Structures are given as C-alpha cells and as structure tokens.
Chains A and B, each alone.
Chain A
Amino acid sequence: MTVISFAAAIRNALAVEMDANPALFIIGEDIGRYGGELGATAGLYKRFGEDRVRDAPISESAIVGAALGAAITGNPAVAEIPFGDFLGMCMDQICNQVAKIRYMSGGQVRVPVVIRTTIGGYMSAGAQHSQSLESWFVHLPGIKVVMPSNPSDAFGLLRSSIQDKNPVLFLEHKGLYSVKGDVPDNTDFLVPLGCANVVREGKDVTILATGAQVSRAVQAAEQLIDEGIEAEIIDPRSLDPLDLGTIIASIKKTGHLVIVHEAWERGGFGSEIAALVSDKAFGSLHGPIKRVAAKNVPSPFCPRLEQSTLPQIVDIFKAALETRSFKFERKENS
C-alpha cells in the first residue's frame, strides 16, 4: 500500500493501462504539456509522447468524436473533458454516437472509450462549473457511469473502465482530487464495475451515497451512534452497471434507506434507486425512503448560498432519524 492522492491514483491508472496497451491513447484539453486542468495527467506527456497524450483544441465534440472514431478502428481511447458541465458541448457525440453506434450497427463495432470528467461543487465555482450531471447518462442506454469516492477506488475503477470494451463515463469529484488514501501497489489490483462497496456495516438504516458524499455519510454515521443508530453505508461505485443486490440485501437487514447524492433531487439518481427499492424490497421497508440531494436551483456563487443548496452532514443525520422514527398508520379510504 502507498498513500497517494486521488489525482495521483487517476494518473497511475492511466500510466499502468498505457504501459499495458500500446494502442491506447488519451486526448483532451491541456492534458499534455500542461498536465491536466487539475493535474491528473501530469508527467504522462513526457513519458508516453505526444501521439499518445494529445493536447486537443477546445472542441469537446471533436475530442469525444475523435476518441470514438479511433476506438472503433482499433485504438482504445480516454477522452478528458475538464469539467462535467461542458458535457453539453459534446452531448450529441455521447448520446447519439458513442452510446449507440454498437447497437445501431447490429454489434459490428466495439467502443472502448472512457470519457473522464470532473464534477461537483462546494467550491464557489458558479453554476457552470459545479454540476453533477450523472443522472443524464444513467438514463441513457449504452454508456456505463462510474463515480469513485476515494483514491483506491479511483485507481481500480479507472483501470477496469479502460479495460472495458464499452463506453464509460468516469466522473471525478473535484473536491476529492487532493484527498489521500491507501492504494494497493499490486498492479493486478482492479475494482470491477457493478460491484458496490459496503463502506460501513450497520443494522438500523442503509445510507446509499455516491462520490464525494460517501465521506459525509460516514461522518453522519458517526454522529448517529450517539442516537443509538448503526448506519450501513453503501457506495455503489458504478451507477450503471448497478449492484442492486447489495443494496437490496442491506435494506432487508435495516428496513430503512437514505439516498445521498450531490446532484439535484428532482429526477436524480436517487429517484431511480427509490423506485427500484420500492419494487424489489417494498415489504422490507419500515419507513419512507429519504433523499438528501441538492436543492433544485442552479449552483449559486456565494459560499453561504452554495452551502445552503448542497447536502450537508446534518441533512443526512436528520434524514436517517426521520425514516427511523416513522410510524406507520393505515388510513381507511372513506
């Protein structure tokens, strides 16, 4: 084990995969000489050369399309879009090309493309540099969606995503970049997609949290101990494919579910989880499914305003108490 930052874990995963597969290349804005907008690709340009670490013009459609065109003709690609907020600039390439070309061609092509981008707020970056848009892509068949919450998972999940023969959208929370953690030195270390992580075991309430919300959930769980509540925390790690089995098994044990994500509540990933759980584990629920998510407004700039719209530890704490204290009353139809 070595303690490294989330950003270093991303960089190491890229390097390991580029070493293993000489056909692989990465393309994006400022990823080469500059080393990445947030430093994730520092050093790769020198090590692998310009052909395989390509600084692109600020042309998100062409970056994603170029990754796709290369991938279907024999060169797996990792495309970097500096901020997830810019995915709108290449939405056609992602939605209509990358995610559909295999299906439309009747399976004639494979699409080994990873689109890495950063997401998330809590840093006064304003409404166009703070979003978490994962639910757009979870909605879309044909592209996998991965959200690591710590350096070890970032390393293992990114390697699995690159090795996958299919498109993967890899969402890295900006706030996690400097977070440090143990990462296995073993070059065989992979974290498979579709395999949730039970971050903390507990018997009283399940808290499902994604990305940077996982650490908030852990802190909330520590406070819940004082209330006599042992929370079980699940990090799905990939939203598609989704390890529903682990989630359902946990709810059967705890009877309560709190879903925490940084994206807006309305139409968010949590809505999908709530629907799935109500379908698959309705009889196990002893209280309402609670969602802790961003308020349905664009991200404000002022730090106090922004904090007021985003999930806080206390919100998770309160939601867990609320579902735990719910009293079921059947009202007869009059």
Chain B
Amino acid sequence: MTSFLCREYNEGDINSSLLSRMLLIRRFEERVAELFKKNKLPGFVHLCLGQEASAVGVCSALRIDDFITSTHRGHGHVIAKGGDVKFMMAELYGKSTGYCGGKGGSMHITDMSIGMLGANGIVSGSLPIAVGAAYGAKFLRKTDQVIVAFFGDGATNEGPFHEALNMAAAWKLPVVFACENNLYGCGTRLDRVSPTSDLTLRARGYSMRSISVDGNDVIATRDASLEAVSEARSGNGPTFLECRTFRYHGHYEGENPSYLSKEERDHWFAKDPIDLHKNSMLSSGQIDQDSFEILDQKVRKMIDDAVQFAEESPEPDLATALTDVFAEDGETV
C-alpha cells in the first residue's frame, strides 16, 4: 500500500507548500473569472475565491492514496489534492485533453490517479459515495485509507447528508466530513433557513466527533484535519470538520451577489486566507516579499501555460459523445 503525502506538500517546508497551493487556486480561479467574462468558457462556473485555506488545509493532511469527493465548487479541492491545472483548464474549455475529455465540465472534474472521486453538481450528492468508499476501505479492502467529503453549509439541510453521517458514525467509517461553511447556500444566508448556525450540532446528533475551525486559517485547518485524519486512520471513526469561511464571488459567475453586504465582505477581505498565511510567514522571516513575488510569477506562469494548453487543444471528436456510457467487456480502467 502506498503511503506518502501528496507530492504537493513538502513536510520539510510545509508553510511554503501551503502558500503555493493556495496561490495556485487563487490565480486559477481569478483567471477562470476573467475567461468567463470574456465568454471563453461554455456553461457556468462556481468559484471558491476566498475559500482556498479549507481546501489546502484539509488536503495537506492526506496521503495520495486517500480519497476526496467534492462539490459544484470544486476547483480548489482538485488543485489541493494535487490535480493538474492544465487538464482542469482544458476541461473547463470542453476540450478533448481535459480531465474528462470535455464530457464533465467544471462541476464533474474527476482524477482517479490522485484519489479525486469527482466533483458533484448535486448538493449533498457525494456524501453517500464517500461513505461507500470508506466502507470498502475499512471492511472489504482493509486498508487504512481515509476519505474526505467536502460539502458546503447548504448540504447540511439535505437528506443524504443526514443518511451519510448516520451511516458513517454507526460503523465508525474513516470519513472526514469537511463542511466549508461559507454562510450562504446559493443566495440565502444559513441562519434564515436553519434553526442554528452551529453546524457541529448536526454532527453531535449522530454522536460524531466535531471540530470547528477558522477555515481561513490554513494552519488551524491543517492541524484540525491532521487530527481528524489520524482518528479516522486509526479506526476511531468519522469527524465532522467545520471550516468557517466565505466566498468572495457569487454562487456562480455572472450572478450579482447583492445579498452579500459590504460590511460582511470587508470583514472577510480583512482576513483573506492567503494574506494571513503570507503575512505570518513574512513576519517570522520564512519568506520575503521578493521570494513571494517569484512564487507568484511562477504560479501565474502555470496558469498562463494551462490556458495556452487548453486553447491549443483540439475539440473532442464528435464520436466521443456516444462513448463511456458503459464500460465494454474486457475494458480495464
């Protein structure tokens, strides 16, 4: 059984790894917003600008052979688990070189080679899938793999969320339920549609260990994740991990998020996850402004290359629209 950290996270210099992954997500999402505005991308996209720390903090605690499931707002999770921005961008362009050959799009990016079981367009839809992957790991394959199910606050009001938490708790499955609480389900604030804003209450209803962290603090999120992952890996069952965070853009690009007040946005801008981590590294002398600029240039170049790769890639062959509905006999994946 392979058991090494995702290659993106260097334990010897974890702070730099966390910074560069968060920055990669930030620049990727900024570019996607720009490309969307220019009508370069078909369909629609949901961006996770402002939520970079929860994706990176959680995934930095995982091994490459651990699994994650994700949501409609999944770009950050793919990148944090070690996804390749070239194949992601190509998928967003609907190109043949994209992760899913152009058949999935933004909401369905999957990369089985890094244990990314798929983003999901249905709120709460992936939670039962994560439970099943965990069941197989614990009871059938008998590995010590851990499964992280990412979802938002909105999913906590869906039935499958409750079914999945109950099942995982009943059988002490190795799942980390990573709830990115960005306060809004689409355009509706959680406290208007839920009797409590304390989402850990939901987990306690299933006798499940719960942790609530400042999801904009990547170190706090990573530490909480390490604890949750360690519990899961050692057979002590699931953890509900609430990462309190905020998304800067609307539910989807092109939406006017007028429901987010200026005060609220200013409050969260002041605790930007990347600034927080960068400033902490600056003040402790782990990085200087010049080296940050160099890192940023490197990251921007990766995004430029990804866009170029996507734009130069061929459209999918029309015949591929009719393939992959079923696996054929003898096919190996």
Q: Which residues of B contact A (CB under 8 A)?
A: 67, 69, 98-104, 108, 110-112, 117-118, 120-122, 125-137, 139-141, 147, 159-160, 163-164, 166-167, 170, 323-327, 329, 331, 333
Q: How far is the CA of A109 from the CA of B111 in the complex (A)?
A: 10
B323 with A107: CB separation less than 8 A? yes
A57 with B333: CB separation less than 8 A? no
Please judge, given known A-B contacts A104-B100, A105-B110, A165-B327, whether A65 and B160 are in contact too, CB under 8 Å: yes
A217 to chain B, nearest CB (A): 30
Q: How far is the CA of A164 from the CA of B303 in the complex (A)?
A: 41
Does A102 count as interface, using CB distance less than 8 angstroms?
yes
What residues of B have a CB within 8 angstroms of the CB of A59 in the complex?
Answer: 163, 166-167
Does A71 count as interface, using CB distance less than 8 angstroms?
yes
Q: How far is the CA of A69 from the CA of B160 in the complex (A)?
A: 14
Does A250 count as interface, using CB distance less than 8 angstroms?
no
What residues of A have a CB within 8 angstroms of the CB of B67 in the complex?
Answer: 73
Q: Which residue of B lies closest to A23 (CB)?
A: B140
Given contacts A62-B164, A106-B324, 13 further A-B contacts (CB under 8 A): A27-B135, A51-B140, A57-B166, A61-B160, A73-B141, A75-B140, A96-B122, A96-B125, A103-B103, A106-B99, A106-B102, A108-B111, A166-B327
A62-102 near B? 1/0 per residue, CB < 8 Å: 11111111111111010000000000000011001100011
Q: Considering residues B111, B132, B323, which has the most beta carbons from chain A within 10 angstroms of its beta carbon?
A: B132
Count contacts between A and B, CB distance < 8 Å: 161
Does A25 count as interface, using CB distance less than 8 angstroms?
yes
Top 9 nearest A-B pairs (CB, nearest first) are A65-B128, A69-B132, A106-B100, A66-B132, A62-B163, A105-B110, A59-B163, A70-B136, A106-B101
A57 with B163: CB separation less than 8 A? yes
B101 with A68: CB separation less than 8 A? no
Q: Considering residues A27, A61, A73, A92, which has the most beta carbons from chain B within 10 angstroms of its beta carbon?
A: A73
Q: Which residue of B lies closest to A67 (CB)?
A: B132
The residues in A between 38 and 71 inclusive whose CB is less than 8 angstroms from any CB of B are: 51-52, 54, 56-57, 59, 61-71
A73 with B136: CB separation less than 8 A? yes
Indicate which residue in B99, B135, B136, B170 contacts A57 across the interface (CB closer than 8 Å): B170
Does A141 count as interface, using CB distance less than 8 angstroms?
yes
What residues of A have a CB within 8 angstroms of the CB of B135 in the complex?
Answer: 27, 54, 66, 69-70
Q: Which residue of A lies closest to B130 (CB)?
A: A69
A105 with B326: CB separation less than 8 A? no
B140 with A25: CB separation less than 8 A? yes
Indicate which residue in B108, B129, B329 contacts A105 across the interface (CB closer than 8 Å): B108
B133 with A69: CB separation less than 8 A? yes
A90 to chain B, nearest CB (A): 9
Q: How far is the CA of A92 from the CA of B123 in the complex (A)?
A: 10
B141 with A62: CB separation less than 8 A? no
Q: Which residue of B lies closest to A51 (CB)?
A: B139
B288 to chain A, nearest CB (A): 42
B128 with A62: CB separation less than 8 A? yes
Q: What would be 13 A-B contacts, judged by CB atoms less than 8 Å apart?
A: A57-B163, A61-B164, A62-B164, A69-B136, A72-B129, A92-B160, A96-B121, A104-B108, A105-B110, A105-B118, A106-B98, A108-B111, A109-B110
Indicate which residue in A68, A104, A106, A142 contacts B128 across the interface (CB closer than 8 Å): A68
A140 to chain B, nearest CB (A): 11
Q: How far is the CA of A23 from the CA of B143 in the complex (A)?
A: 13
Q: How far is the CA of A97 from the CA of B99 in the complex (A)?
A: 18
What residues of A have a CB within 8 angstroms of the CB of B126 in the complex?
Answer: 97
Indicate which residue in B102, B110, B121, B132 contacts A65 across the interface (CB closer than 8 Å): B132
A108 with B132: CB separation less than 8 A? no
Q: How far is the CA of A268 from the CA of B327 in the complex (A)?
A: 27
Q: How far is the CA of A71 from the CA of B133 in the complex (A)?
A: 8
A105 with B140: CB separation less than 8 A? no
What residues of B have a CB within 8 angstroms of the CB of A72 in the complex?
Answer: 117, 129, 133
Q: Which residue of B lies closest to A113 (CB)?
A: B132
Q: Which residue of B lies closest to A52 (CB)?
A: B140
Does A110 count as interface, using CB distance less than 8 angstroms?
yes
B36 to chain A, nearest CB (A): 21
Q: How far is the CA of A165 from the CA of B99 in the complex (A)?
A: 22
B323 with A104: CB separation less than 8 A? no
Q: How far is the CA of A197 from the CA of B103 in the complex (A)?
A: 36
Indicate which residue in A73, A97, A104, A107 contacts B133 across the interface (CB closer than 8 Å): A73
Please judge, given known A-B contacts A97-B122, A104-B104, A108-B110, whether A57 and B167 are in contact too, CB under 8 Å: yes
Q: Which residue of B lies closest to A108 (CB)?
A: B112
Indicate which residue in A67, A73, A142 contacts B326 across the interface (CB closer than 8 Å): A142
Q: How far is the CA of A59 from the CA of B102 in the complex (A)?
A: 34
A65 with B104: CB separation less than 8 A? no
What residues of B have a CB within 8 angstroms of the CB of A105 in the complex?
Answer: 99-100, 103-104, 108, 110, 112, 118
A158-171 near B? 1/0 per residue, CB < 8 Å: 00000001100000
Please judge, given known A-B contacts A69-B132, A96-B125, whether A61 and B326 are in contact too, CB under 8 Å: no
A165 with B331: CB separation less than 8 A? yes
What residues of A have a CB within 8 angstroms of the CB of B122 in the complex?
Answer: 92, 96-97
A87 to chain B, nearest CB (A): 15
